[in-house]
Amino acid sequence: MGRAQTGTGARPPRATIIDVAREAGVSPATVSRVLTGSKPVSAEPEQRVRAAVARLGYRPNPAAQGLLRGTTSAVGVVVPDLSNPYFAEVLKGVTNAAQHADFRTLVADTGEKAGAERDAALELSRWADGIVLCSPRMSQWELTELASAVPRLVCVNRRSRGSRIPAVAVDFGAGVASICRHLRELGHHRVAYLRGPARAWSERARQRAVRTAAGSDLEIVQIPCGSSSVDGHRAADAALASGATAVMAFSDYVALGALARFDELGVAVPEEISLTGFDDIALSRLVSPRLTTVTVDKQDLGRRAWDLFVDTGADGRIGSVVEVTPELVVRGSTAAPTGARASQRETAGDR
Amino acid sequence: MGRAQTGTGARPPRATIIDVAREAGVSPATVSRVLTGSKPVSAEPEQRVRAAVARLGYRPNPAAQGLLRGTTSAVGVVVPDLSNPYFAEVLKGVTNAAQHADFRTLVADTGEKAGAERDAALELSRWADGIVLCSPRMSQWELTELASAVPRLVCVNRRSRGSRIPAVAVDFGAGVASICRHLRELGHHRVAYLRGPARAWSERARQRAVRTAAGSDLEIVQIPCGSSSVDGHRAADAALASGATAVMAFSDYVALGALARFDELGVAVPEEISLTGFDDIALSRLVSPRLTTVTVDKQDLGRRAWDLFVDTGADGRIGSVVEVTPELVVRGSTAAPTGARASQRETAGDR
DNA sequence: CGACGGTCGGAAAAGGTTTTCCCTGGCTCC
DNA sequence: GGAGCCAGGGAAAACCTTTTCCGACCGTCG
């Protein structure tokens, strides 16, 4: 209320602790003690200080505090792409947890460029007490070297065997395994897998599970694809041509692209072909048929990353590696193969 | 390379400018001059300084710089919900533009709670040179008062008549008008409008356009709904019951919810009923039928907000208000009313 | 050859806060 | 009643960088 209301632009310089001290008739030290509670102050001066603070609208200068404390009360989050709801959710998880602990969140978007990750993290780490690195695409070597240059580093969805970098990661292998089990139980024997980006750590984790799951009664056809919905749209034809009765997509996004393509082609899901995703994004519940997928609580991922961040004290104590097991949710996009299309292959093969 | 590699945890305290100066055999002033280029330094000491900087891995302490400069080189972005891809996109737009100008981005999520907006913005503004406030739900009065407490404030999707707050906003009215025109040209005369949150500024803007568009040959039935897909799912039945031949949803999200409900009920879109959204989110191109909607470049919104932020100098010069006109994209979810359902009403009405 | 100007670099202050150290005054216990 | 102790508050240092002011040195011109 009062003079500041008029937006004359001649904004008065922010009040400092010295202004408050003068106004309250005490020393700056006393003001600091009242505000931080670092040492008790008797009632009467405290009243005067509080009144002066309110009157001047004083708020301590964080730069000065940071300079003195040597800590910023901020965490940096580096993501490949904010447009991707997956990362947006993880960011939200971190931010909410951080807010709770009176920490600010800095964010950087690397635009999916692996080369930008290192610089973004390094730059952000100047302004933060540490970094949460989401699904880093950089090389293992680069990651290790980065970990030593940043005060605290926590990874999301990237575990590194050698270097001890705290991480929270989805158990992609378990997810793939549960999808494969589900499809085999439905009676599928030939599944097309729409592969993610070859360099992604999570794709490599899936590959291990795919190789384990494939066996005498389950053949898995690998189809190069990618991570976006247009990749899925593009790869759908190849999946169809492979003669598979079910398509396991790298992610929900990819699956939705494939679904759109199937729709265009008049291929019925799940009657003619089953389809699965990975991640359980919000849309997967809205398309028809609703997508069978594997569910990951992305905000929880962020929250856990924060917990790890806290655990990883600046004292060098190191957080551990947390693994989150995703859960299969069976919806409408998977069913037993009816032979509508499968029969073509089977009859052709049997004769 | 070298000792820092070993993650012993005994991280050496960060090198200061004094360490560099000692290492290079010059004064701190010279180091500063080399790094900032504020004053020329002769070749030989410059070499020594650069070598020392590289050797020690020195990076200036931003807190100290901020303290001195009185500026933080950071912008705060306050959004209602990071899970909402709309806001995530706007955030991405701001972040990318800011990164370009060597600014950091701080983010706060208010969890859709109007009461949290003020505090979040105020808190963030301590650490930033200003705030970008996305779709604030707070009252006009609160907003005006906030604008005077924050060094620079830019709004996204909220214009305020009285106070001169720079803003970039979608012209919701124009969007609604173009949808109404489209539907009328197709031959619709009775449209159900699924309303957004009553308190939202963007809903009030839409309301003005709805009232203008409604006329003798276009009746618009208002149906309370909300802003999420489950709201749309829930409100779909009422829209159907209203006897409208077309449904205009508050947003794509709402429309997708309604679409899912129509699908459950076996109501064909657009044959039996037309459906439109607003925003053109990524999914709208993936569902079937693909959604007719109005397209907004959300990242561009963020970019423009940044431009306004830059324009709004701390000198009190004030950015203007930018209006972005959305464009109609006609896809598969709208068509001329065939009478499949409409006939029920028309025959009933005509007799 | 001397004086002046220009260039380069160092010393020091400033920026706002916290915290340590110290002093003073009042209370308690002997 | 005196001495010692405790609590409360003030002065000042420290945090790290930038920038202003100033001094010194070198080169050039008169």
Query: If you measure CA to C1', which residue is closest to nucleotide D19?
Result: B29
What is the reported pLDDT for B314?
54
Alpha helices in A128-227 (DSSP H): 140-149, 172-186, 201-213
Which residues of chain B are within 8 Å of residue A126 when distances are taken between CB atoms?
59, 61-62
Per-residue confidence band for A340, with pLDDT thresholds at 50, 70 and 90? low
Please determine, for residue B256, whether its predicted confidence score (pLDDT) is greater than 60.
Answer: yes
Question: What's the CA gap between B333 and A218, in Å, rounded?
Answer: 40
User: Which tokens belong to B7?
Assistant: 């993650």
Paired tokens of B1: 């390379």
What's the confidence (pLDDT) of residue A326?
A: 96
Q: Which of residues 29-58 of B touch strand D (CB under 7 A)?
A: 29, 31-33, 35-36, 38-39, 58
On the question of pLDDT at A9 being above 60, the answer is no
Q: Which CATH class is domain B71-165+298-325?
A: alpha beta
Return residue ranges of chain B for CATH 3.40.50.2300.
71-165+298-325, 172-292+330-350
Beta strand extents in B266-333 (DSSP E only) = 274-276, 293-295, 321-324, 327-329
Dist CA A172 CA A163 (whole Å): 20
Interchain pair B317, A9: CB under 8 A = yes
The conformational region for residue A157 under phi > 0 = left, psi -120 to 50 = alpha, else beta, is: left
Predicted confidence (pLDDT) per residue in A144-188, tens digit: 999 988 889 999 999 987 778 999 999 999 999 999 999 999 999
Give, in Å, how far the C1' of D27 lies from the CA of B38. 24
CATH 3.40.50.2300 occupies which residues in chain A? Answer: 74-165+298-325, 172-292+330-350
pLDDT in tens, A116-142: 999 999 999 999 999 999 999 899 999
Tens digits of residue pLDDT in A195-233: 999 888 999 999 999 999 998 899 999 999 998 888 999
Shortest Cα distance, chain A CAs vs residue B272, angstroms: 18
How far in angstroms lies nucleotide D28's C1' from the CA of residue B48? 30
On whether the CB atoms of residues A194 and A223 are closer than 8 A, the answer is yes
CA–C1' B53–D7 (A): 48
The pLDDT score that the predictor gives to residue B229 is 85
Chosen for mutation from A107, A122, A331 (greatest number of chain B CBs closer than 10 Å) is A107
Domain with CATH 1.10.260.40 in chain A: 3-60
Q: What CATH number is given for A172-292+330-350 in this structure? A: 3.40.50.2300
Spell out the alpha helix ranges (H) of B101-139: 114-127
Cite the beta strand spans of chain A per DSSP E.
74-79, 104-109, 131-134, 153-156, 167-170, 190-194, 219-223, 246-249, 274-276, 293-295, 321-324, 327-329
- The closest of B172, B187, B326, B334 to B247, measured between CA atoms, is B334
> By the 8 A CB rule, do A82 and A91 touch?
yes
CA B49, CA B27: separation in Å to the nearest integer?
10
Q: In what order do the strands lie in the sheet with A219-223?
A: A219-223, A190-194, A246-249, A274-276
What pLDDT shows up at residue A7? 41
Name the closest residue on chain A to residue B285, using Cα atoms.
Answer: A260
Nearest to A85 among B85, B149, B263 (CB): B85
Give dist(CA A130, CA A151) in Å, integer.
6
Average pLDDT over residues A77-97: 96
At B207, the pLDDT band (50, 70, 90 cuts) reads very high
Rounded to the nearest integer, the mean pLDDT of chain A is 89
Architecture, CATH, for domain A74-165+298-325: 3-Layer(aba) Sandwich (3.40)
A139 touches strand C (CB under 7 A): no
The pLDDT of A22-28, averaged and rounded, is: 92
Domain A3-60: give its CATH architecture.
Orthogonal Bundle (1.10)
Give CA–CA dist B176/B207, Å, rounded: 9
Chain D positions with a protein C-beta closer than 7 Å: 7-12, 14-20
